[in-house]
Amino acid sequence: MNIRFYNAKILTMNGDMPVFDGELWTEDSRIIYVGDGSNLDEYYKRTGRSAIIWGREIDCKGNLIMPGFKNCHTHSAMTFLRSHADDLPLQDWLNNQVFPYEAKLSPQDIFEFTRIAILEYLTGGITEIMEMYLTPGSIAKCCQEMGMRVTQVGGVNNFSQSPELIDKRMEELNGKNDLTSFRVGFHAEYTCSLELLKKIADLSHKYKSPVFTHIQETKSETDGCIERYGKTPVALFNDLGMFDYGGAGYHLVWTNDEDRLIMKEKHVSVVTNPGSNSKLASGIAPISEYLNDGIPVAIGTDGPASNNCLDMFREMFLVTALAKLKTNDASAVPATEVLKMATYNGAHVMCTPDADCLAEGKLADIIMMDMNQPNMQPVWNIENNIVYSGSKSDIMMTMIAGVIRYDTFDGFQRFNVGKEVPDIYRDCEVIKKRIFG
């Protein structure tokens, strides 16, 4: 379908381009025009297009169009544990409240609970997720049916999955459709034997693939690796050749100067999860140091059991607020940098550069924000408003691959996900009662 958005404020996240008044056109899954309308004669001549027949024209009424948020670390189906195991330290939470109940989940259970997370992502303007969970096949099917863009990564550990299974999934889950992809990954150093880690490194070389994993989330995790191997997880993985094709680490709260030198040299990005790290008392990531060292940072919510709310607005605020507290510097990590983390950087971490900004030829993964809400007024600086006072309630529309999956244009929530929302909730409630008795 051809869709024309007009009378909009547009934040492209394309370099330093400022917010401007204009319009944006989409054709099927791509953006075909972004501009103020003054260059349309040149556009038609350059593209060879004639008058376009619109399937839909949307008057944005001065509201903001921008790229969707990229949630770079998720365990979506853990919605089944939301608010079930709160106020516990990480290892107690994992070993006593998470792993035993996860063992009861079927692929279909994971499919159904992922649905709830996707609904929440859509209401918060999230157009792409980076998912690590137990049954990638059912997750890919769920995301495809509901229209969510997803990059999945392996979660190999000593208890479930295997390098051989990741190898198989690399073949089975890539190139099947435009919304889903799969990358090499594993759970963490402390849940994997050295033999497993070496096999993951071999897979990375086989596919020339970046590697993704939890790294140095807690001090105890970092200290434990030093006791076992005489080095931090970052240094260990580097020595194994795991970062020869880059990658990203989830959390990276407890790094040192040597770690950061390795990360910069090997193009290892940071996916910070400030909400989860705060709730589990894991620590505050050294975001200012990463930025000063030229290490790209993206943002994730983590799962809905460790961070009950899948809200990128809250994460964006925490990224900058915690950095200011950690450095005792109110100028640390400005809002414009945080917004780049949540959009442009996230797309590159997830290996989907075509979704990084609004430009001709890019993917039509777009959100609209209500500029008439009290928290968005007065308008001095739109980027600052989004990070410091923005809210999920400001999201008026979430479009993925040119399809509007969520909107509130008439004042009511409307989902376009292939199934009625009350039915999704009902089915998950049945599964929840079965798992917990």
Check residue 102 and give its pLDDT. 94
Residue 93 in this model has a pLDDT that exceeds 90: no
Residue 389 in this model has a pLDDT that exceeds 90: yes
Model's pTM, two decimal places? Answer: 0.98
Mean pLDDT across the stretch 261-270?
Answer: 98
Per-residue pLDDT tens for 123-159? 999 999 999 999 999 999 999 999 999 999 999 999 9
Check residue 415 and give its pLDDT. 98
Check residue 85 and give its pLDDT. 80
Check residue 49 and give its pLDDT. 92
Check residue 381 and give its pLDDT. 97
Residue 5, number of CB atoms within 10 A of its CB: 23
CATH 2.30.40.10 placement within the chain: 2-67+357-415
Q: What percent of the chain clears pLDDT 90, i.e. is strictly above it?
A: 96
Band of residue 88 on the pLDDT scale cut at 50, 70, 90: confident
Per-residue pLDDT tens for 34-78? 999 999 999 999 999 988 999 999 999 999 999 999 999 999 999
Which CATH number is associated with domain 2-67+357-415?
2.30.40.10
| DSSP-derived secondary structure for 358-373 | --TTSB--EEEE-TTS
Whether 326 and 292 have beta carbons less than 8 Å apart is answered as no
Q: Could you tell me the maximum CA-CA distance found in the chain, to the nearest angstrom?
A: 68
Mean pLDDT across the stretch 405-434?
Answer: 97
Check residue 50 and give its pLDDT. 87
Structure token digits, residue 411: 């004042």
Check residue 9 and give its pLDDT. 98
The alpha carbons of the chain give a radius of gyration, in whole angstroms, of: 21
Q: Sign of dihedral through CA atoms 322, 398, 135, 239?
A: negative
CATH 3.20.20.140 placement within the chain: 69-353
Residue 94 in this model has a pLDDT that exceeds 90: no
Residue 91 in this model has a pLDDT that exceeds 90: no
Residue 383 in this model has a pLDDT that exceeds 90: yes
Whether 34 and 6 have beta carbons less than 8 Å apart is answered as no
Per-residue pLDDT tens for 295-327? 999 999 999 999 999 999 999 999 999 999 999
Please list, residue by residue across 204-216, b when 16 or more beta carbons sit within 10 angstroms of its beta carbon and e when fewer do.
beebebbbbbbbb
Mean pLDDT of the chain: 97
Structure token digits, residue 128: 């792409």
Residue 242 in this model has a pLDDT that exceeds 90: yes
The CATH fold assigned to 69-353 is TIM Barrel (3.20.20)
Check residue 31 and give its pLDDT. 98
Check residue 90 and give its pLDDT. 78
